[in-house]
Amino acid sequence: MEDNGGEDPVNNNNDTTVSSEGSIIKVTVKTPKDKEEIAISEDASVTQFKEEISRRFKAKQDQLVLIFAGKILKDGDSLNQHGIKDGLTVHLVIKTAHKAGDGASSSTSCTSQVGSSSGSSSGPSSAAHSSTVGSTGGPASAPPQTPNILTGFGDLSSLSSMGMGSANFMELQQQMQSQLMSNPEMLSQIMENPLVQNMMSNPDLMRQMIVANPQMQQLMERNPEISHMLNNPELMRQTMELARNPAMMQEMMRNQDRALSNLESIPGGYNALRRMYTDIQEPMFSAARDQFGNNPFSALGGNSDGGVQPSRTENREPLPNPWGPPSSTNPSEGGGGTGTTGSSTTGSTNPSVSNPLGVNSASLGNGMFSSPGMQSLMQQISENPQLMQNMLSAPYMRSMMQSLAQNPDMASQNPASSPSAGTNPAQQLMMQQMLQMFAGGNASSQTPEVQFQQQLEQLGAMGFINREANLQALIATGGDVNAAIERLLGSQPS
Amino acid sequence: MDPNNTSYAVKLYVYDISKGMARQLSPLMLGIQLDGIWHTAIVVHGEEFFYGGDGITNCPPGGTSLGQPNSIIDLGTTEVTEEIFMEYLSSLGESTYRGNQYHLFEWNCNTFSNEVAQFLTGSKIPGHITDLPAEVLSTPFGQALRPLLDSINIAPQGGNTFNGHYGQR
């Protein structure tokens, strides 16, 4: 034990104060809660380091666990050995409670306690999940302590590792749901199960289940149409009938599409609007569906691939007889091209589960986005950023954006605006700007006059000589000539 | 003190929470190309750990509502045992990684993954993940959306949260 100020680099095992040996390095010791800089000799051993640390952190040496570069520093090692140099950071964990000998891997006793872990989690990992952690060291030696730890993990996690009877139903539900969403065939298989069918034939039960979902409740508050729909037992029964029979569901959807396409043919200009509207309305529907949580029968609605794509495919099968839509029929027209299979706009006036926001297509004749569903959606979005985030994080948004991006012209000219004084002008403007932005829009760099040049000319040719008013109307309707005309007509003395 | 010298693999699970949307829309909306909005989690000892609006959460690997990860990055190995790791995490969960401290840009799942990765292995997670918020904020759109994004909490469902020390709720 010569005190010769640093000439003896091998001297690692003594217990003298470290300051006289080797050069001092400053090592940062970081715990989860704070960090300190500790000066220590670079030749020091881990033991010495720990001494210093225990002084600083006021903990016992055997409670200290030092980690550097993924390795646990053992007392017999030296700092040098681990490459700990000046300025580096070493992690420290201060063990809180007593522990028995080996703090080794996860306990198998837990698994045996809770039985086989089937269901959502894999065997060994769920054992680890519910295993003894922290205070107990030995795996097999601490069954009495496991209940504490398990509650620390949150409510019967041992049961959840069994995959059933879990107090945490949500977790199980969600996993099931994600599986279902990714595998629609499984869904139809489930539907065919007589037990499920039995359950579904009881409308009261279904209603209770649906209403019990908190997201559903929220949705119901926002959209009274939904609660109306749920309260109507006839409708529920019909819906479940449909749900049970996917073919019938598809049929009905197609009927609605038929009616819709019939409507489309009336005013030619509505065609484009309609298409876009459907693209937006379908994701809206999906939003409601997503919020429904595990509404299994919604996915059955004749959609392809788990049903999140706004299909632009044609109806491949022969279409049924067009049944009387609210206005003139023209069955051969407009049907194939738009082919909105799987979309959920309704031809009838009853909101059905496939159209939970209760959009009445009869009102479509007056303006796409004046529908209550869309309006309330926009309002909710602007009020609640969380909802926006939810929407954005859903896969269907991608498809919606895709279609918007593909039709930038349409997007910039036909934004969500209602010709009547229904919508909040601020919302209109916002929607317009949003859409322009989505379309890569630099379209707003032009003045409205230039932008609407063509439309202005059209209006002029039709006999609307008040250019000012025309311009105003066009701005309000975002360039939609027809809507602008209506607006102008409404304000002119006749 | 620790007779156990085995090492455990540490992996980083990377999820794109925009599900491909960011890749398509980012040039359009932001003016830069983002390949994804990354959510990361550390997988070690057969469990997945991540930080979200609910605090530190764990679940079986790939067990959140995000499904399977987009990519899995190998971070190396660690000698840290499960016991020590749990202690560490619960300390973190009480101090610097509580649920209410979550901030989408500044103190998020990736911050957590980075810290834990360094603790476990000494190495950090890939830069393109941690640089993402800065990239987004450098665009005008990002700046404009900032107030909105400040209030967003991302918390993938499907896990159990660490609620402080064991036995306490």
pLDDT tens sequence across A83-116: 888 888 888 888 876 543 333 333 333 333 333 3
Q: Of A346-355, A406-415, B89-98, which has the strongest mean pLDDT? A: B89-98
ipTM metric? 0.78
* Chain A residue whose CA is closest to B87: A134
Identified catalytic residue from B45, B59, B103, B109: B109
B158 and A157: CB-CB below 8 Å? no
For the cut 50, the answer to whether the pLDDT of residue A298 exceeds it is no
pLDDT at A329: 36
- The answer to whether B101 faces chain A, any CB pair under 8 Å, is no
Alpha helices in B30-156 (DSSP H): 82-94, 109-121, 127-130, 132-137, 140-150
Helix (H, G, I), strand (E, B) or coil at A168: coil
**Integer Cα distance of B117 and A74 in angstroms:** 21
Tell me if A346 sits within 8 A of A359, measured CB to CB.
Answer: yes
Phi, psi of A432 (to 5 degrees): -60, -45
For the cut 50, the answer to whether the pLDDT of residue A173 exceeds it is yes
**Integer Cα distance of A159 and A130 in angstroms:** 9
Once rounded to an integer, what is the mean pLDDT over residues A140-145?
36
Identified catalytic residue from B39, B45, B128, B165: B39
**Integer Cα distance of A107 and A439 in angstroms:** 56
- pLDDT tens by residue, B17-43: 888 888 888 888 778 888 888 889 999
Q: Which of B26, B34, B88 to mutate to test the interface with A (most CBs of A within 10 A)?
A: B88
A149 and B166: CB-CB below 8 Å? yes
B169 and A152: CB-CB below 8 Å? yes
Structure tokens at A293: 């949580």
The CB density around residue A235, as the number of other CB atoms within 10 Å, is 17
**Integer Cα distance of B84 and B86 in angstroms:** 5
**Integer Cα distance of A135 and A63 in angstroms:** 12
Once rounded to an integer, what is the mean pLDDT over residues A50-79?
85
**Integer Cα distance of B38 and B128 in angstroms:** 9
* Chain B residue whose CA is closest to A91: B119
B165 given a catalytic annotation: no
B121 and A75: CB-CB below 8 Å? no
What CA dihedral angle connects A360, A362, A367 and A369, to 10 degrees?
10
A70 and B10: CB-CB below 8 Å? yes
Mean residue pLDDT across chain A: 57
**Integer Cα distance of A418 and A162 in angstroms:** 54
- pLDDT tens by residue, A206-238: 666 666 666 666 666 666 666 666 666 666 666
The dihedral through the CA atoms of A28, A30, A35, A40 has a sign that is: negative
pLDDT at B58: 85
Q: Of A218-232, A291-305, A364-378, which has the strongest mean pLDDT? A: A218-232
Structure tokens at B42: 């550390």
- Within 8 A of B83 by CB-CB distance, chain A residues are 99, 103, 133-134, 137
Q: Name the residue with higher pLDDT: A464 or A279.
A: A464
Structure tokens at A415: 């934004």
pLDDT at A286: 58
Closest CA to B86 of B39, B41, B40, B47: B47
For the cut 50, the answer to whether the pLDDT of residue A181 exceeds it is yes
> B152: left (phi > 0), else alpha (psi -120 to 50), else beta?
beta
B1 and A395: CB-CB below 8 Å? no
pLDDT at A461: 86
pLDDT at A117: 33
Distance between B100 CA and the closest CA of chain A, angstroms: 16
For the cut 60, the answer to whether the pLDDT of residue A75 exceeds it is yes
**Integer Cα distance of A226 and A216 in angstroms:** 9
CA dist A315 to A344, A347, A402, A474, Å? 15, 17, 21, 36
DSSP B32: S
**Integer Cα distance of A435 and A412 in angstroms:** 6
- Within 8 A of A125 by CB-CB distance, chain B residues are 46-47, 60-61
Once rounded to an integer, what is the mean pLDDT over residues A292-305?
41
Distance between A403 CA and the closest CA of chain B, angstroms: 12
pLDDT at B65: 83
- Work out whether strand B8-16 and strand B38-44 pair parallel, antiparallel, or are unpaired: antiparallel
- The answer to whether A398 faces chain B, any CB pair under 8 Å, is yes
Band (A35; pLDDT cuts 50, 70, 90): confident
* Chain A residue whose CA is closest to B78: A70
SS3 string of B50-79? EEECCEEEEECCCCCCCCCCCEEEEEEEEC
Residue ranges in chain B whose pLDDT is less than 70? 1-5, 153-154, 162-169
> A14: left (phi > 0), else alpha (psi -120 to 50), else beta?
beta
Alpha helices in A46-122 (DSSP H): 46-57, 79-82, 109-114
A104 and B81: CB-CB below 8 Å? yes
B109 given a catalytic annotation: yes
> Which residues, other chains included, contact B131 with Cβ-Cβ below 8 Å and sequence gap of 6+?
none
For the cut 70, the answer to whether the pLDDT of residue A478 exceeds it is yes
CA dist A371 to A298, A327, A360, A411, A489, Å? 22, 19, 8, 18, 22
Share of chain A above pLDDT 90, in %: 0
Distance between B162 CA and the closest CA of chain A, angstroms: 6
Closest CA to A259 of A315, A329, A317, A190: A329
B158 and A393: CB-CB below 8 Å? no
Phi, psi of A438 (to 5 degrees): -60, -35
- Within 8 A of B17 by CB-CB distance, chain A residues are 393
pLDDT at A132: 35
Q: What is the DSSP code string of A17-47?
A: -GGGSS-EEEEEEE-SS-EEEEEEETT-BHH
Structure tokens at A20: 């006289």
Q: Name the residue with higher pLDDT: A296 or B146.
A: B146
Closest CA to B136 of B105, B166, B167, B110: B105
Q: Which of A389, A390, A407 to mutate to test the interface with B (most CBs of B within 10 A)?
A: A389
Q: How many CA atoms lie within 13 A of A37 on its CB side?
A: 8
For the cut 50, the answer to whether the pLDDT of residue A297 exceeds it is no
Closest CA to A293 of B152, B155, B65: B65
Question: Which of A22-26, A261-265, A300-304, B140-144 shows the lowest per-residue confidence on average (mean pLDDT)?
Answer: A300-304
Q: Which of B11, B82, B153 to mutate to test the interface with A (most CBs of A within 10 A)?
A: B82
Band (A271; pLDDT cuts 50, 70, 90): low
- The answer to whether A182 faces chain B, any CB pair under 8 Å, is yes
CA dist A488 to A272, A451, A470, Å? 22, 19, 7
Distance between B58 CA and the closest CA of chain A, angstroms: 8
Tell me if B88 sits within 8 A of B120, measured CB to CB.
Answer: no
B160 and A157: CB-CB below 8 Å? yes
pLDDT at A219: 63
> Which residues, other chains included, contact A177 with Cβ-Cβ below 8 Å and sequence gap of 6+?
A293, A294
Question: Which of A24-28, A255-259, A287-291, A477-481 shows the lowest per-residue confidence on average (mean pLDDT)?
Answer: A287-291
DSSP A15: -
**Shortest CB distance from A175 goes to which of B76, B94, B158?**
B158
Q: Which of A35, A85, A108, A129 to mutate to test the interface with B (most CBs of B within 10 A)?
A: A129
> What part of B 81-100 touches A (C-beta under 8 Å)?
81-84, 86-88, 90-92, 94-96
**Is A79 exposed, middle or buried, given 0-12, 13-18 or 19+ CB atoms closer than 10 A?**
buried
> Which residues, other chains included, contact B72 with Cβ-Cβ below 8 Å and sequence gap of 6+?
B11, B12, B13, B14, B43
Once rounded to an integer, what is the mean pLDDT over residues A8-28?
58
- The answer to whether A233 faces chain B, any CB pair under 8 Å, is no
pLDDT at B77: 87
Structure tokens at B93: 């969960």
A70 and B120: CB-CB below 8 Å? yes
Alpha helices in A4-145 (DSSP H): 46-57, 79-82, 109-114, 123-129
Cα angle value A360/A361/A362 (rounded, 5°) = 90
> Which residues, other chains included, contact B129 with Cβ-Cβ below 8 Å and sequence gap of 6+?
B14, B38, B40, B110, B113
pLDDT at A236: 65
pLDDT at A184: 55
Band (A340; pLDDT cuts 50, 70, 90): very low
- Within 8 A of A94 by CB-CB distance, chain B residues are 87, 91
- pLDDT tens by residue, A144-160: 333 334 333 333 333 33
Once rounded to an integer, what is the mean pLDDT over residues A347-362?
39
